């Protein structure tokens, strides 16, 4: 019974694969459809804006340190003092600081280059 079900599933997958290949024949693209549209006029400048990788890296580093604050804030509220944090949180702070030191020494935090 299990073998019959397996064979049925394989046959159904093969039929659907062939059917999708037949139905989705690629239509040749038209130059006008591929161009950008700005109210009927030709585009005045580049259609894609260049992406700043440095800004993205700084944003990711900000999110990591923001997450650190979110994780440490409840611990400070429970203990009442930042210096009474448990050993695991000190290890966490050390690792985050180590990562910050690495980013700083690599030059990822320097905005001007």
Q: So what's the pLDDT on residue 85?
A: 61
Residue 41 is classified by DSSP as: B
Residues paired with residue 25 on neighbouring β-strands, in sequence order: none
pLDDT of residue 79: 66
What's the farthest any 2 CA atoms get from each other in the chain?
68
Enumerate residue ranges in the chain where pLDDT < 50: none
The reported pLDDT for the residue numbered 42 is 63
Residues contacting residue 100 through CB under 8 Å, at least 6 positions apart: 61, 65
Residue ranges per domain, the chain? 72-107
Which residue, chain included where needed, has tokens 């203990």? Answer: 79
Q: Which pLDDT does position 10 carry in this prediction?
A: 93
The whole-number pLDDT of residue 30 equals 66
User: How high is the pLDDT of residue 81?
Assistant: 61
Q: Containing H/E element for 98?
A: helix 87-106
The pLDDT score that the predictor gives to residue 33 is 65
Cβ atoms within 10 Å of 99's Cβ, excluding its own:
14
The rounded distance, in Å, linking the Cα atoms of 99 and 102 is 5
């Amino acid at each position: 019974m299990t073998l019959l079900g397996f064979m049925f599933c394989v046959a159904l997958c093969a039929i659907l694969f062939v059917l999708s290949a037949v139905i989705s024949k690629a239509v040749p693209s038209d130059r006008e459809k591929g161009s950008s549209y700005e109210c009927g006029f030709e585009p005045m400048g580049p259609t894609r804006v260049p992406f700043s990788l440095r800004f993205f890296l700084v944003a990711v580093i900000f999110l990591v340190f923001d997450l650190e604050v979110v994780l440490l804030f409840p611990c400070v509220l429970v203990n009442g003092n930042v210096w009474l944090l448990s050993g695991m949180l000190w290890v966490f702070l050390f690792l985050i600081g180590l990562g910050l030191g690495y980013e700083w020494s690599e030059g990822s935090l320097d905005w001007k280059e």
